[in-house]
A and B are shown apart, each in its own frame.
Chain A
Amino acid sequence: MWDYTDKVLELFYNPKNQGVIEEAEQAGVKVATGEVGSIACGDALRLHLKVEVASDKILDARFQTFGCTSAIASSSALTEMIKGLTLDEALNVSNKDIADYLGGLPEAKMHCSVMGQEALEAAIYNYRGIARDVHDDDDEGALICSCFGISESKIRRVIRENNLTDAEQVTNYVKAGGGCGSCLANIDDIIKEIQQEAATPAINNYGVKVATDIANTKQSQLGLTNVQKIALIQKVLDEEVRPVLIADGGDVELYDVDGDRVKVLLQGACGSCSSSTATLKIAIEARLQDRVSKNLIVEAVEPLL
């Protein structure tokens, strides 16, 4: 028997927002739909969003779920959480947020929350007319788990986003490894690799692939996930900002991204340069605003000595 929280049971027994949203006849309102999962895997979710076009706000959200107790509860929770948010805000909802809202999910059921987050992304991408396969790196890279058709990039993403440390956890989140088990050793290797990367301070480039795709389509200002946003910032810094600074005997390193605040470490000539504030504003902030999002504010942090 699963050990479900009261919140999970409550939303399972009395799910909120179940059903379909019919295409609105209302002016200024559109309906977006996202579908993920499959009957083969044993869970599937179709999410419907009613969006106010002018404000980008989610006026209503409904779901149809095929799946177990926690899949139904996760879908219901998700719809509750995103009502009233703008699409950009909704894109920041992670699978962990869904699980937290439910007071936690059994480890083996975490993939239900992942499904919720993916359906949300699918709905928003559909709404914005972004072909998800092009932008979603999850379908790229080598297929690691052929039982469930899960790619290396998707496995890498969940490991990073959820700080997973063993292959069984990966199975709980995305099912990879839960079939014949022949990919478990490969998943172990990926985890080891990621742990080694994390141990080295340099900012790794895992997100660059996503960022490249996004940048290539020139639609980067539309609904980026946090990971995509950070990756894109990193890419712009690496490719467009740093070469200029390095030529001037300086350099910049991304330190953190907190909402729209981008914190950087200025190095070399830039760090000591009296006009560093101006450098920041002109060379970095403007560039990032242009390439990633108009709202970004760049700040310099003091290097730790």
Chain B
Amino acid sequence: MQNNCIYLDNNATTKVDPEVVEVMLPYLTEYYGNPSSMHTFGGQLAKAVKTAREQLAALLGADESEIVYTSCGTEGDNAAIRAALLAQPDKRHIITTQVEHPAVLNVCKQLETQGYSVTYLSVNRQGQLDLNELEASLTGNTALVTTMYANNETGVVFPIEQIGLRAKEHGALFHVDAVQAVGKIPLNMKKSTVDMLTLSGHKIHAPKGIGALYVRRGVRFRPFLLGGHQERGRRAGTENVPGIIALGKAAELELLHLEEATKRERRLRDRLEQTLLAKIPDCEVNGDTTQRLPNTTNIGFKYIEGEAILLLLNKYGICASSGSACTSGSLEPSHVLRAMGLPYTTLHGSIRFSLCRYTTEAEIDQVIAVMPEIVERLRALSPFKNDEAGWLQAQEQTLAHR
């Protein structure tokens, strides 16, 4: 297995920080007790879990009692949506956006078959929401507004406080999927309009299999997972102690590095983006470049296809991600880029580079060095080119009329 790659796919997952591994390790070996046990062997663990909870709460600007551990971001999203609906059985309307993660979209789709109505807010070409559309969609029947904080594909950041204000005015709960935002945007839940917030450990240098849901004190929460009394009755199941300890440490490190790391990542990202745009003709940044995560850039390289680009990048040991879910066999382009109304010429050739605090100057240089050649090479193979726009335009038009 290749492990010395240039890893620019940090929105997919991140490397576990060595310090995190170190603090977590004893809980996989020596301290294997169950924190719910009465004996001291287990009891000692409860203390460590409490410390980890405080560390995570500090990153969120929250109280430790407001943290509910989960297994992943998907569980957090599912639990928050279900909890909001169970707590308000009379309300049957949900508002979300077209560009959410499937962990939200697929729950909403299922709820539609169960008698709920769902409004999927649109986004503009920059991937940004229209608050007037939100305003117009809110009614007294709206139980929940659930939106992401930052988009995983484009990095576009939504104005969540403003969304929250409007939700409050109509008496709706507000859940935010902040899986991509935590650790990249400073958070202070004490001053926020957010009622529930999802995060995931493996996006912030903790291992996979641990996440958390912030639930504002006072918000009625009905559990999704039923069983024992763990997590103050809000999430049954024996705690993932090593994961919790790891997430605590990861949160502490994120908070410690937040300011300087985001500055660095932004600088490197901007250099990567601007150099590629300057060196390669016919490409553009997808998404709002002002309201955006500091670590993400999504660039559409016209007339070529993403998977082919990825495989050539891979040859140079560079890991990135494409906007086409070609694993599905359908080569369906990403629902996020489609919702933004990008033309197919750009959609299929969109590549996401996502950085982290480990990304180095030299790694960015390497991408800048190889990318123009890769694009040129694939364009030489492509039947779609500027000078042959006829075939293309005809196709784009037919599609627009579908």
Contacts and interface: CB of A to CB of B under 8 A. Distances in A.
Interface in A1-38: 1-2, 12-13, 15, 18-19, 35, 38
Contact of B307 (A44, A68, A172): A68
Q: What does DSSP make chain B's interface, helix, strand, loop or mixed?
A: helix
A19 B306 CA distance: 20
Contact of A18 (B327, B329, B330, B380): B380
B158 interface: no
A40 B344 contact: yes
B382 A66 contact: yes
A68 B344 contact: no
B381 A45 contact: no
B356 to A, nearest CB: 21
A249 interface: no
A68 B383 contact: no
Contact of B327 (A13, A66, A108, A171): A108
Contact of B305 (A2, A43, A172, A177): A43
Counting chain A residues whose Cβ lies within 8 A of the other chain, the interface size class is 35 or more
B331 interface: yes
B311 interface: yes
B139 interface: no
Contacts of B392: 39
B219 interface: no
B304 A66 contact: yes
B348 A39 contact: yes
Contacts of B396: 39
A71 B345 CA distance: 17
A12 B381 CA distance: 11
Nearest to A63: B381
A2 B392 CA distance: 28
A111 B333 CA distance: 16
Interface in B361-397: 380-384, 391-392, 395-396
Interface string A38-82: 111111111000000000000000011111110110000000000
Nearest to A111: B329
Nearest to A13: B315
B347 to A, nearest CB: 8
Contact of A38 (B304, B329, B395): B395
A39 B345 contact: yes
20 contacts: A12-B308, A15-B381, A18-B381, A19-B380, A35-B391, A40-B399, A42-B324, A42-B326, A43-B305, A64-B381, A64-B382, A64-B383, A66-B304, A66-B381, A66-B383, A68-B306, A107-B329, A108-B327, A178-B330, A179-B330
Interface of B: 303-308, 311, 314-315, 324, 326-333, 344-345, 348, 380-384, 391-392, 395-396, 399
